[in-house]
A and B are shown apart, each in its own frame.
Chain A
Amino acid sequence: MLIALATIVVVRIFLFINFNADDWRIPLMIFVTVLGVFFINRIIKNSQFLYPAIIILVLAVNGFYKPFEFGFNNNPVPVWITDEQRREHGLNYDSPGVLVIHNKVVNYAFSFLEHYFDYFRGDFLFTNGTFLYFFDILFIGVGFWMIIKSPKGWKPIIIWLFAAPISAALNFQPPTSLKAANMLIPLTVISSFGALKLMSLILKMGKGVKYKI
């Protein structure tokens, strides 16, 4: 199982790098993250420290690939929204209640979350052709289903997946596959796992043979 999984993942990562970038930093970034997650998982046994360590690692590696660009200056929309919201409160525009819920912090947070969620949009991941294949939706669905059924050992991969777009979303720009390159490994691992599980299920159903991977 592990060998099959590793082979598929390696082949797909090479394909991605081949198709998408001449930038040597992308394979390096992916390689460093893989090594990092592997060693962190080995060294830190206490889950209280494991997850923050993975998040810090992914953010640090992303920062190395592309220094964090906080796109506040390029994204004035949350400021406009704040002004509009306060104006719509009429004469109470500067009352404490209004200031607490309508401010730049809240609106930039919403904007960040919107961009963060965009990295998990199905049309970005599967249909617009730059990241994963359309059929991956099936395998990722099966993969997640199986992981939820028995999550043992999968948590570092899941944390990695959800930490990967944080730095890219801070840029307040639409998602691009290069900025999201660090999501590729966890997604490919889950997709390949799902594909293998699906294959074993089909073989089991089709031949009636006990076949386990």
Chain B
Amino acid sequence: MTILNSLNKYKLLLVILLIASVLRLWNLQSIPPHLRNDEAALGYNAYSVLETGKDEHGEFLPIIFQSFGDWKMGLYVYLAIPFIAILGLNELAVRLPSALAGIISVWLIYEIVNLLFAKIRLALISAFIFAISPTFIAFSRGAWEVNISLTMTLAAILFFLKAINGKNALLMLSAVFFGLTLLTSHTAKMATPLLLLILIVSFSKQFRQVSKKIILLSILTISIFSIPVGLSFIEGKIARLTTLSIFSYQSGLPLVQSIANRWFSLYSGSTLFIRGDTNPQHTAPNTGAFLLLDNILLIVGTITLIKKGTLIQKFFVFSGLLLLPFPSALTIEKVNLERVLPLFIPMIIIISIGINSFWDVFTKRFAKIILPIFIFIYLLNYLYFLDQYFIHGPKKNDAWQYGYKEIFHKISNFKNDEIVVQQSLEHPYIFFLFYQRYDPLKYQQISGQVFIPNKEGKDMGLVSRIDNIEFMDIDWSKIKPKSKTIFAMPTFKLEQNSKFYDDYNMIDEVRDLNGFPIFKIVQTL
């Protein structure tokens, strides 16, 4: 009876969770159509830890993984291990932790909004908007550390709110989740302290009533989780930070202006509603972080919140909007949605408030005309996004590092020949290790010799050779190719090289999903 009651009570939420699951899990192994190199690295390191207890570089159970030299925070790797143990080393197993985290986030946002605003309808709308949001679908359908970090952040916020609403002991659980975000993504090192600040200032009155002992224990908990981060600074494992930080880059503009330009760029209509950021992996083609019509809802929501919200609600939401873009604004890229996922929590809340007040107005007036028209246009807008994400997105080659899976599948037949694969910052070696399920123990033994750290002190090192495969820049104008060697390179590269050497046989080619050849495999005579 109790189960039936709660099913009845939560039936709308269950429907929303079902929608979220379909949008995140449907065809997960093949959309996006190819692993990113980071996904392959997370997956292969999880496989390596599962098989040997060590990462690809032979480090025993590391918290921070060296990977390409970018020192990835390691929680995602450990979360992927059980899935790889059950499903094997494949796309689905690597992406599942992120997809499931995306579904859990929908439930968490429902609980958070319910606690913040004490309105079930608003909480349900927030969960629904989160479930169908283009950004969160894109980040849940790939092995994105930031997506796991977002789920941890939401759990931490939820337990923080519960703690200050009477269940004080949950503050420690909140501290654990905040601490875990630090071990999940680089961005959290900045976003988490900012969020903590926002929460503590917003709810300072209630926070002061929490027992001092619990607050001290919570601080201790976060401090323990911060130790690996602190150590990484001391040990110099911060190549990613120094490569991307705006402070290590000269744009020619005053620093304040550069930062302000980046902050403002995030809030441009183009980024939010029409084109997204410059990385096509973050949004569907021709789609922003939100739907175009969300623009109206954001305006209505902002007006309603300013007019009717309590001081705490306003402070929480608007200080979030002010501070949370900084993890992106302080990097060299103009806009990067990956670094501002927590910012979308207040934005989702505002959009939901917008829908809620639309609902209130239109159920009183013009209900029969304007509401159905708005819902119809919104639906069309959403269908446009679905078409862009599921039909057009997979066909954009520049987005997905497409082709390496097929290349290594095709050249795996030539075990006794010398093979040269075009080197690039897409790190082809990791796709070879991943798709060939290369023995981790064997690779750990050679990784010290074949991994060449970045010579300019930046984050990305390169791997030069594994067994009979050499990874190098193929330039026949400088070095004449050896005979009886197999070369795999992009089509344009072969066209360039053919001007200097054309004594080869075409063996095979890899076509993209539009049918155009993107890689050629040839053998010199």
A residues near B (Cβ < 8 Å) are: 81, 85, 87-89, 101, 110, 113-114, 116-118, 120-123, 126-128, 134, 145, 148-149
- Can you list 23 contacts pairing A with B, beta carbon distance less than 8 Å? A81-B286, A87-B514, A88-B395, A110-B274, A110-B292, A113-B273, A114-B275, A117-B268, A117-B273, A118-B270, A120-B268, A120-B269, A121-B264, A121-B269, A121-B270, A122-B268, A123-B260, A123-B264, A127-B261, A128-B261, A145-B306, A148-B303, A149-B306
The interface residues of chain B lying within 8 Å CB-to-CB of A128 are 261
| Segment from B184-192, B384-392, B451-459, B482-490 that makes contact with A | B384-392
Bound complex: CA of A148 vs CA of B273, how far in Å?
A: 23
**B178 — which chain A residues lie within 8 A by C-beta?**
none
Q: A123-B264, A127-B257 are in contact. Are A148 and B269 (CB under 8 A)?
A: no
Q: Is the CB of A148 within 8 A of B270?
A: no
Complex alpha-carbon distance, A145 and B264, angstroms: 18
Indicate whether B383 reaches chain A with its CB closer than 8 angstroms: yes
Measured CB to CB, the residues of B under 8 A from A are 257, 260-261, 263-265, 267-270, 273-275, 286, 292, 302-303, 306-307, 383-384, 387, 391-392, 395, 514
Nearest A residue to B266 via CB reads A122
Using Cβ atoms and an 8 Å threshold, which residues of chain A touch B261?
Answer: 123, 127-128
Partner of B391, one of A89, A117, A126: A89
Determine chain A's interface SS by DSSP, over half rule: helix
What's the minimum C-beta distance from A119 to chain B, rounded to whole angstroms?
9
B383 touches A101 (CB 8 A): yes
Which B residues touch A148, using CB under 8 A?
Answer: 302-303, 306-307
Report the minimal beta-carbon distance from B347 to chain A, rounded to whole angstroms: 16
| Bound: A71/B321 CA distance, A | 35
Q: Are A88 and B391 in contact (CB under 8 A)?
A: yes
Would you call B269 and A114 a contact (CB within 8 A)? yes
Separation of A114 and B275 alpha carbons in the complex (Å): 8
CA distance A85 to B302 in the complex (A): 35
| Extra inter-chain contacts (10) besides given A113-B274, A118-B270, CB under 8 Å | A88-B392, A113-B292, A118-B269, A121-B269, A122-B260, A122-B268, A123-B261, A128-B261, A148-B303, A148-B307
Complex partner residue of A126 from B260, B286, B307, B395, CB under 8 angstroms:
B260
Closest to A107 in B: B286
With a 10 A CB-CB cut-off, give which of B270, B273, B302 has the most chain A CB atoms: B270
Contact indicator A127/B274 (Cβ below 8 Å): no
* Contact status B307-A121, CB under 8 Å: no
Asked if residues B514 and A88 are in contact (CB atoms below 8 Å), the reply is: yes
Are A114 and B264 within 8 A (Cβ)? no
C-alpha spacing A117/B383, complex, angstroms? 23
Most buried by A among B264, B267, B275, B303: B264
Q: How far is the CA of A149 from the CA of B268 in the complex (A)?
A: 24
CA distance A128 to B307 in the complex (A): 32
A74 to B273, CA, bound (A): 24
A101:B260 contact, CB within 8 angstroms? no
With a cutoff of 8 Å between Cβ atoms, the chain A residues found around residue B267 in the complex are: 122
Asked if residues A117 and B274 are in contact (CB atoms below 8 Å), the reply is: yes
Q: How far is the CB of A115 from chain B (nearest CB, A)?
A: 9
CA distance A126 to B270 in the complex (A): 17
Evaluate contact between B269 and A117: CB separation under 8 angstroms: yes
